[in-house]
Amino acid sequence: MVATAGVRASGAYVTSLTGTSNAVQASQAFVRVLYNIPTTGVLASSAYVTTLMQTSNEVRSSAAYVTVLWRGRVAQPQLRAWTYTMDGHDFYVLRLGDFTTLVYDTFSKQWSEWCGADLPFWRANTGMNWIGGQKFATDYGSNVIVGDDTWGLLWFLDPLLPYDEAPDSEAPAQQIPFDRIVTGEVTLRGRDSVPCYGIFLAGDNYGLTATDFTPGVTLETSDDDARTFDNQGTITVPADYQQEDPYEWLSLGLMSSPGRVFRITDNGVFTRIDGMDMNDNAG
């Protein structure tokens, strides 16, 4: 049983019960295998259960004899490659199994690493520009449709949303923030130290729309080639407030050889970062 509104077995001897739905329940049943990916919940009550496997928000087994109770993702070591075009940029996506997802922008000729908040890779397992889906672009942001290998959903990519939408429609928070991390370095040589009076970050957020969380941008610095970082503070921006550029961090001490690495982490402030400037003199 796959992709149904619900899977239930009551008062039955069940050898195998599988499904991808909102709920899987086995009540008063002898269950050999109960397997489900992924759902809001899996219930096995008053049942003799040999194997119960599931990857979802919760697993329940009440008054049951359980030999194996397992929860987690099914490993997918396959390598996948796909492409899509958005805002005049051609993207080449490499899903390296369960290790990571690398995305190449042919316009800027830059690689980036994409992942989820709790996964080392991007849940979008495959995707494309759906020509027939152009009629949905106004409402959903684009005609780029991708498949979610964790929740079994299809998503449209919206370049203007500063957050991910929750895959569970009953979740208390429907807006899920995700981090965008950018690093840069100022290299120095010799024995002289250079003061860093301030860092000024400029970008555009096109008007914030997040309501379930408060977006913020954090600056971290490293003086040992990114082995360790010092947190220089987070600037938060309420959803109803338009922050004026630049975002600034002042009095950041002295820099010396080999230089300083700057790491910017943004969880929903910027749609685009225009640049970062450093004030290194008293004038």
Mean pLDDT, residues 175-186 taken together: 91
Indicate whether 122 and 197 sit together in one domain.
no
- 168 belongs to a structural domain: no
The C-alpha atoms of residue 181 and residue 223 are separated, in whole angstroms, by 18
How many CB atoms within 10 Å of residue 173? 12
- 174 belongs to a structural domain: no
Q: What is the pLDDT of residue 224?
A: 93
Indicate whether 33 and 55 sit together in one domain.
yes
Indicate whether 149 and 98 sit together in one domain.
yes
Indicate whether 32 and 117 sit together in one domain.
no
- 172 belongs to a structural domain: no
Q: What is the pLDDT of residue 233?
A: 95
CATH number at residue 237: 2.60.120
Indicate whether 66 and 84 sit together in one domain.
no
* Neighbouring-strand partners of residue 218: 234, 265
Q: On the CB side of 166, how many CA atoms lie within 13 Å of its CA?
A: 13
* Neighbouring-strand partners of residue 191: none
Indicate whether 92 and 62 sit together in one domain.
no
Flag the least confident range among 11-20, 42-51, 186-195. Answer: 11-20
| Residue closest to 122 by CA, chosen among 103, 144, 141 | 103
- 241 belongs to a structural domain: yes
Q: What percent of the chain has pLDDT over 90?
A: 43
Which residue is it, tokens 């997918």? Answer: 76
pLDDT at 281 > cutoff 80: no
Q: What is the pLDDT of residue 61?
A: 58
Q: Look up residue 224 and give its DSSP letter.
A: S
Indicate whether 275 and 194 sit together in one domain.
yes
Indicate whether 50 and 83 sit together in one domain.
no
Flag the least confident range among 10-19, 141-150, 182-191, 215-224. Answer: 10-19
Mean pLDDT, residues 60-79 taken together: 68
Query: Which has the higher per-residue pLDDT, 161 or 8?
Result: 161
Q: Look up residue 90 and give its DSSP letter.
A: E
Indicate whether 152 and 200 sit together in one domain.
no
Highest mean pLDDT (candidates 9-18, 54-63, 200-209): 200-209
Indicate whether 195 and 265 sit together in one domain.
yes
Reported as a pLDDT band with limits 50, 70 and 90, residue 76 is confident
Q: What is the pLDDT of residue 59?
A: 58
pLDDT at 201 > cutoff 60: yes
- 231 belongs to a structural domain: yes
Name residue 114's amino acid: W
Q: What is the pLDDT of residue 150?
A: 85
Reported as a pLDDT band with limits 50, 70 and 90, residue 282 is very low
Mean pLDDT, residues 112-124 taken together: 89
Domain total in the chain: 3
Name residue 173's amino acid: A
Indicate whether 195 and 244 sit together in one domain.
yes
Say whether pTM exceeds 0.85: no
Flag the least confident range among 11-15, 203-207, 210-214, 235-239. Answer: 11-15
Print the domain residue range for 235: 180-279
pLDDT at 133 > cutoff 70: yes
Instruction: Name the token pair of 275.
Output: 């640049």
- 89 belongs to a structural domain: yes
pLDDT at 147 > cutoff 70: yes
Sequence-distant (6+) residues with CB within 8 A of 103 are 91, 92, 93, 94, 111, 112, 113, 114, 122
- 164 belongs to a structural domain: no
Indicate whether 190 and 268 sit together in one domain.
yes
Mean pLDDT, residues 196-213 taken together: 82
- 169 belongs to a structural domain: no
Name residue 182's amino acid: V
Q: What is the pLDDT of residue 28?
A: 57
